Structure 1
Amino acid sequence: MIRSLTSSSAICLVFLATGASADVTPQEVWASWQAMATAAGQELTVGNTSDTGSAIEVTDVVIAYKDDLGGSASVSFDALTFTENGDGTVTVGMPESYPIQMAFPKQEDGPGSLKLTVSQPGAKIVAGGSATETSYEITAPATSITLDEVTDEAGTKLDTQAEVALTDMAAKYSVSQNGEGTVLDSSFSSRSMVMKITGKDAEGAGGGTVDVSFADVTGATKGNFLSAELMANMAAALNSGFTMDTSLNFGAMTMTADITDEAGPSKLAATATGGGFVVAMDKTRLNYGSSLNGAKFTVSGADIPFPQVEVAFAESGFNIVMPVSKSDVAQDFSFLTKVVDFTVSEDIWGLFDPAGSLSREPATVIVDLKGMGYWEQDLMDPSLQMEGAQPPGKLESLDLTQVLAKAAGAEVSATGGLTFDNTDLATFGGVPRPDGKITINIKGVNQLVDNLIALGILTDDDAMGFRMGLGMFARPGAGPDELVSEIEFKDGGLFANGMQLQ
């Protein structure tokens, strides 16, 4: 987390340096850019400034940032120019390449420092708008970020090389001031993004190469960003108006990794048809989600007793939306995790089922929940202690939109909903008293148990105990080898298919 914060600060320096605060005249562009850097908690130093009225040139520009944990980042430019175009816009000229340096707080592992070079030959930055709201467009036929040097926590240089390259990048930004905040609305696209990392370990006995490529990369960021002082306490920042909504999506992805260690060489190859992630936050909610579709992974190596192992799935995803601030009014939340049509290669199946007794149909797991609840403390408050027995919030309702587990010929699904009485913690031993019903449908489980007995995975005694327990909670369903269980909470009691258990 510390390293990611420092890295984020360095990225902000890059965007500021590309004219993130442009205005209608060169003087206003340069002045607002300086104000933006200062408001973000960065230190700006300049060698010389030349102003001809229609153009400004500044030389030996350095933007630096330091955090309270000992991390730092800086970006340097030999010269920047701000030139009036005669149509109310300003062209911002930058060097074709410039360096970035980063240092991380001392840790037991991880990098100690990085030196990078950003190259963007042919990049064009045009700024426009007004004195109160800035807009600008960036185009760059080719952009690369090259790792020039990396050290470990002790300051020793590591034998590691890395480069990220983007083609046909285009971006649009709109920036305006909102009191102590800066309102940003931005989007970008790139036809492709390619990353390559190579290196050796400190002893020289192992090393490897990783290549990753993404097609059709797009992203967007909207938000109201505050000063570094306010952002030091996230709970306070949210209450002061901080908002952020960021998304990134990509098309076809490929990855290869060739690694050599003491056990020998190993290789990973992966492909996907697309994916992305979203991070959004304001005073009322936090949303984080990710997805990867049409993915296939192939692994081989000295530790694997087969030529290779293949794993694939049609769709995977994770998404959570929840409140983050203290409240006495229930708010919506949701949770989703899923892996759809998951398969593994026959070599893995053959380890425990060489005769093919179990169904090889793709497996699927989906948990899709939603409900209402609230926090009694600010979740982002750094003083919040989560170790105590008393939960920091209350749950009022929970709905099972979809719960599904399907594998090896068996399927379990559940739907329903519960409400919770937080004033009654005695009926169910400290848990808020639930009311509602959940219906569970089970298919193919008896056949699966028979197959597991035949494979020696289950004993007859284990299977008997399982079936007896299942019989207490389930009744026959509409078809063969189908069971239904209705779990109901009402009047302070627990019922299964109408039979009271508590």
Structure 2
Amino acid sequence: MEQWKSLGCGTLLAGLLCSTAAQADVTAAEVWQSWQDYYGGMGFTLTAGSEEARGGTLTLRDVTGTTTTPEATGSVTIAEMVLTERGGAVEVTMSPEIPFDMTTVAEDETVEMSMLFSQPDMVMTVSGTPDEMTYEFSAPAMGVSVTEMVVNGTPVEMTMEMAARDVTGSSVMGLAGDITATQQIAAPEVTFTVSATDPETDGTFSMEGSLSDLEGTSTTVMPEGVDMADMAAALGAGLKIEGSLSYGAGSYTMEVVDATDTMTIEAAGDGGSFELAMDAEALSYGAAGTGGTMALTGSQLPFPVDISLAESAFSLLMPVSKSDAPAPFGFEMRLVDLAVNDEVWSMLDPMAQLPRDPATLILDVSGAAKMLIDLLDPEQAATAEAPGELHALDLNELQLTFGGAELTGDGSFTFDNSDMVTFDGMPKPLGSVSLKLLGGNGLLDNLIAMGLVPEDQAMGVRMMAGLFANTGPGPDELNSTIEVREDGGLYANGQRLK
């Protein structure tokens, strides 16, 4: 997994700006040595062109961090770093601008990118002991920009800038035995701009936006001697990564222009979050947002398109390592109160046959699976016939609301992987799921009136509904319980179907 090192320079730079420890004495030389040891363990080479120690001050010039793999190379260059001992702690200042370069190779594409990191008047203080150091830093402004990009030897006309103001951060880094790093960073405002030109069509792309109240935390545990290029082996040795990011209100404007069309997108949201965790057992990822809006206009659109979404969320939990026992997994998707403007509805439903209430999709499932391979090992993933066995599946929540109808449900199943015959090559399930449909017939009638569903097909749908569902006490209500029992039979509302 060499691609994990393609972020090496950025990781190195962020760590130098955000590393720290407990109250005790630490010297400038010990801080410098800790950086060399830490990043050396991660596969980076950290050197200084010259070192000058005088009166409790260590001045490093032409500090370079480099990493090289078959897929990526990168380097960071800091013209000057001054480490000054002050009462048992060390104050660190750096050059206000730091260039870093990266080259990645993937199949037939080579990308060379040069960036510039800026952090004028940034001050960092390191305290603690050689075994555990605490870093605290603040900067009135920090930014990163792309200064050059070349793809397969051809320069790409592109600019990218990101800036944050009043940035603060801290980090506690333990260096005895397994390396541990806990970091925090916050910025009340982040702005970004991106623009690019397609060299083949001369089309242009531009985007600018901002986020407020950015806060991030992360924790990393890296065993001694771990090779970060082999992610599967690193996880097996005890590598753990966990991080979260939250932000407040934000917005962006994007414009795409080509020879025939100009498209403009304006989007905004009330806030959101991201989460990531990885260890030897599992990988989890999650993202959520609230109050999202988007407006699209374009020369090829007959009218503006407005979209709003009250709540959105996505999360995934999956086992990644071979195991003898089933491990938990999960998946959730939430799209709550999705709405579009009347012009869009009028195009889809000119006679206003359907209620124009917001639509909602919620799907929340969990369960247990036994992994038969190490999923992050490329060789095993490429040659395995099946990555794992399904042992349990729970439908925690299902909700689909659209056009005046609503489908809800829940249920759970277990799976017997020793019996692959009863269900034609699938592990034998055992359990049930309960479903409720409100307004289904009304929606079907409206779709017939719109000409989207022919009468004969609608009749077939109603016959199938009669086979699998019972009418409920409410108007236009259908209820169904689908079961698979110990005898291997498939039942709908107590009636055997198979």
| TM-score calculated relative to the size of structure 2 | 0.95
Equivalent runs, 1:91-490 vs 2, <5 Å: 91-108=91-108, 112-152=111-151, 154-179=152-177, 181-203=178-200, 205-226=202-223, 230-306=227-303, 308-385=304-381, 390-490=385-485
Q: Is the 1:41–1:228 Cα contact (8 Å) retained in structure 2?
A: no
Counterpart of 2:364, as a letter, is D
Equivalent-residue separation in structure 2 for 1:339 and 1:106 (angstroms): 35
Following TM superposition, by how much is the alpha carbon of 1:312 offset from its aligned partner in structure 2, in angstroms? 1.3
Aligned-pair distance for 1:21?
Answer: 6.4
Query: TM-score scaled to structure 1, two decimals?
Result: 0.94
Residue 36 of structure 1 corresponds to 38
SS of residue paired to 2:420: coil
In structure 2, distance between residues paired with 1:21 and 1:448: 61
The SS at the match of 1:112 is: strand
Per the alignment, do residues 498 and 228 of structure 1 end up closer, same or farther by CA in structure 2, a change over 3 Å counting?
A: same
Q: Distance in 1 between matches of 2:196 and 2:228?
A: 36
Matched letter for residue 57 of structure 2: A
Secondary structure, aligned partner of 1:197: strand
Distance 1:277 1:441, change over 3 A: same
* Compared CA separation, residues 178 and 400, structure 1 to 2 (3 A): farther
Distance 2:5 2:188 in 1: 28
CA contact (8 A) 2:311 2:336 kept: yes
Residue deviations 1:107-162, cap 9 Å, x none? 545x721111111111110000111111110101111112211112x222222122
Tell me the CA shift for residue 264 of structure 1.
Answer: 2.4
Q: Distance in 1 between matches of 2:323 and 2:70?
A: 31
Q: What are the superposed Cα offsets for residues 288-344 of structure 1, whole Å, 9 maximum, x if unpaired?
A: 1111211111111122121x1011111111111122211112222221111010111
SS in 1 for 2:187: strand
SS at match of 1:230: coil
C-alpha deviation, 1:37, in angstroms: 2.5
Measured in 2, the distance between the counterparts of 1:279 and 1:97 equals 30
Could you tell me how far 1:7 is from its partner in structure 2?
Answer: 4.8
Contact 1:19–1:127 (8 Å) recurs in 2: no
- 1:29-82 CA-partner distances (Å, limit 9, x unpaired): 11111212222211223221111241111111111111222x111111111111
Taking the aligned partners of 1:387 and 1:284, their CA distance within structure 2 comes to 21
CA shift, 1:18, in A, is 2.7
Structure 2 CA distance for partners of 1:116 and 1:487, relative to 1, 3 Å: same
Question: Are residues 1:47 and 2:45 paired?
Answer: no
**Contact 1:286 1:324 (C-alpha < 8 Å) held by counterparts:** yes
Residue 24 of structure 1: SS of its match in structure 2? coil
Q: Give how far 1:267 is off.
A: 0.3
- Report deviation, 1:386: 5.7
Q: Identify the residue that residue 79 of structure 1 maps to in structure 2.
A: 80
CA contact (8 A) 2:392 2:412 kept: yes
Distance 1:205 1:417 in 2: 54
Q: Which residue identity lines up with residue 56 of structure 2 in the other structure?
A: S
Q: Distance in 1 between matches of 2:32 and 2:154?
A: 39
Unaligned runs of 5+ in 2: none
Question: Which amino acid counterpart does residue 333 of structure 1 have in structure 2?
Answer: F
Question: Larger relative contact order (C-alpha < 8 A, sep ≥ 6)?
Answer: 2
Aligned with 1:193: secondary structure? strand
- CA separation in 2, counterparts of 1:16 and 1:445? 56
2:290 maps to amino acid: N
State the identity as a percent.
34
8 Å contact from structure 1 (residues 18, 92) kept in 2: no
Aligned equivalents of 1:204 and 1:399: distance in 2? 49
1:251-296 deviations in Å (ceiling 9; x for gaps)? 1110101221021221011001111211101112211111121111
Query: 1:176–1:351: structure 2 CA closer, same or farther, 3 Å change rule?
Result: same
CA gap 1:113/1:230 in 2 versus in 1, 3 angstroms: same
Tell me how far 1:199 sits from its aligned partner. 2.8
